[in-house]
Structure formats: C-alpha cells, structure tokens
Amino acid sequence: TPLYSSAASDVYKRQINNQIKELSHELLERLKLFSDDFKIAYSHGDFQDANILLTEEGLKVIDWETIDNRSISYDFFTIYLRARRGMDKENLWDDSEEFFNQTINVFKNSLGLNLIKDHQKYLTLFFLEELVYLLKSSCSINFVKNGIGLNKKLPLLKNKVKDFFV
C-alpha cells in the first residue's frame, strides 16, 4: 500500500516544488545585487567534522563523492555554519570568531578573496549551492531512509536564509 494517496502525493509534490521555486527565486534576486565575478574552485561538497580524520600522518579528509565546482567559499561556509547539523547560530564552531578571522586571512592572503567585503555575496551563493546540494541528496536512498528528505530539510534551509539575511 502506498504511504500517501495519489492526490495527497500530488499536493505534497506541488508544495515542495513551490518552496524550491520561492527559495531559488529569492536567492537569485539577492545575487543580482552583487557583481558576478565569483571565484570558483573544486569543492569537497560535504566538508564537516565527520569527514576530517586525525591520523598519525596528520589530518585526512574523506568522503569525496560530492566533489564539484562551486564557489571558493562553499566548504568554508559548510563547516563554519555546520550546514550538515542544521546551521543553528548556536551551533557554530567553538571559538567561531577566531576560526572565522583566521580563515578570512587565509582567503585574503592565499586566494585574493576578501570575505569581509564579499561576505553577503558568497553567503547568498552558498545558500543557493546548498539548495542544489539538497536537491541532489534527495535522490539518495539513504537521505530519504534517514528521514532527512526535502520535506524536512527545505523548510530548515528557508528559515536559515531568513535568519541570516533579516
């Protein structure tokens, strides 16, 4: 027996589609406020503390199946905002101000990217790229099995966009 009736399933799909359209439209409109000279690089795509191992040889980053071209700051925002843990402002990295300042200096000195000046621009792009990540992940059986489908993650992302831009 199907979990939802066909009519209920159609309503659910329309609701999800409308949420995706609204959020993507909002983020694309925000991006229009900025220049389009984004720096792009290969990105891990799921950079989180669970994918960083401390070994005898030093730090190792694992779980590279989501590597792709993204904004140069995507992995930074993923780990800094703890995107895989809900992006609650209370759950930012311990000593997050120090972490942020050190990372900002690395971006500026090594990559020529001024995240202080371009913070809103790259944060907007991050949320748009995070929407793409959710859409790709929603095709994963594990993603759906663990109860973290679009119906749960999409409203969280919409709320975080509002939290960070209001």
Going by C-beta distance under 8 Å and a sequence separation of 6 or more, which residues neighbour residue 39?
A: 71, 72, 111, 113
Query: In terms of Cα–Cα distance, which of 31, 15, 17 is closest to 129?
Result: 31
Better pLDDT: 88 or 50: 50
Whole-prediction pTM value? 0.77
Residue 111: per-residue pLDDT: 75
Q: What is the CB neighbour count within 10 angstroms for residue 43?
A: 20
For tokens 């759906």, the residue is 144
Whether 161 shows a pLDDT value over 60: the answer reads: yes
Mean pLDDT over each residue of the chain, to the nearest integer: 80
Contact 46, 66 (CB under 8 A): yes
Q: What would the pLDDT profile of 93-138 be if each residue is shown by its tens digit? A: 455 567 677 777 777 777 777 777 788 888 899 999 999 988 887 7
